[in-house]
Amino acid sequence: MTGRLYLVPNTLDFGVAGDAPDLQEVIPLGVIRIASRLTCWVAENAKTTRAFLKRVDAVQPLPHPLQSVQIVELPRPQKGVKSPHPASLAALLAPALQGQDIGLISEAGLPAVADPGAALVEAAHGLEIAVVALPGPSSLLLALAASGLNGQSFTFVGYLPVDAGERAVRIRELETLSRRLGQTQLMIETPYRNEALLAALLDGLQTGTRLSVSCGLTMPSGWTRSDTVGRWRAAPASLPKDVPAVFSLLAG
């Protein structure tokens, strides 16, 4: 029998000291129990995965020493290549072919959603390994729900260009698309560029377009503000440079 690939949700707080909620407030107890028994993991970052397992251990003691847990990092794709080579992904799944369950974990939220783990999930299906998605937080869906924007039609566009000129063009394109389809456009940015993206959105969007920002979701200090661009300009807000945010827009 082959093992399963469990998609284990992570918290959205990145373990921020002093502002990280109790693990059980964000991750279901059933998921924590599954995570506690897994001894083989594939992760973006081994160090942060060990930190996550320490939080798991505080709720559901690990039946084995943390030092014995095997954590392998996802290979980074070569420059110009969207995903790692299939052979390298198949090697990560070898334990499952030998009957061992594997946990896949993201740096934040649900694995394989706006996350490089999607390539491993694709490889697992190709090898006929059962994939089990476990319930947990998704920053994109939480932000959409809290925004009050159109939750019936939406798309995630990822990161916008860093170059100011290219970013301005992309913002106008997304606003036009949103207006034509009545569709919410969601995007993210590296936290230290949060304020630059907010400024670009306020500068490039039309006054009546609705803009929502969700910052620090699931954290005690987290918040969502959803308003017209005109009102945002009249009462601007500052964004932290070390906390993730999700930006959403809907043109009228």
Provide the CATH number for the domain around residue 108: 3.40.1010.10
CATH code (residue 198): 3.30.950.10
Residues 9 and 126 in one domain: yes
Tokens of 182: 């009545």
DSSP states along 107-172: SSBSTTSSSTTHHHHHHHHHTT-EEEEPP---HHHHHHHHHTS-SSSEEEEEEPPSSHHHHHHHHH
10 shares a domain with 129: yes
Q: Which of 133, 156, 178 is the last residue of a domain?
A: 133
Verify that 173 and 75 share a domain, yes or no. no
Q: Which of 112, 133, 154 is the last residue of a domain?
A: 133
H or E element in which residue 91 lies: helix 86-92
Question: What is the dihedral sign for C-alpha 194, 200, 203, 206?
Answer: negative
Instruction: For residues 4-21, give the mean pLDDT.
Output: 86
Residue 78 has pLDDT above 70, yes or no: no
Predicted pLDDT at 127: 95
Same domain flag for 129 and 8: yes
234 is in which domain, residue-wise?
A: 139-250
225, pLDDT greater than 70: yes
**pLDDT at residue 81 in the model:** 61
Contact 208, 250 (CB under 8 A): no
Phi, psi of 64 (to 5 degrees): -145, 155
- Helices H / strands E in the chain, number of each: 9, 10
**Is residue 114 domain-shared with residue 192, that is, in the same domain?**
no
Residues 86 and 10 in one domain: yes
Q: Is 190 in the same domain as 83?
A: no
Residue 150 Cα distances to 9, 141, 160, 218, 250, angstroms:
25, 12, 21, 21, 7
- Co-location of 83 and 183 in the same domain: no
168 and 215 housed in the same domain: yes
- Domain final residue pick, 79, 99, 133: 133
What pLDDT digit, counting tens, does each position of 30-75 carry?
999 999 999 999 999 999 999 999 999 999 999 999 999 999 999 8
Global pTM?
Answer: 0.90
Verify that 44 and 123 share a domain, yes or no.
yes
231 pLDDT more than 80: yes
Q: Which residue has the higher pLDDT, 252 or 79?
A: 252
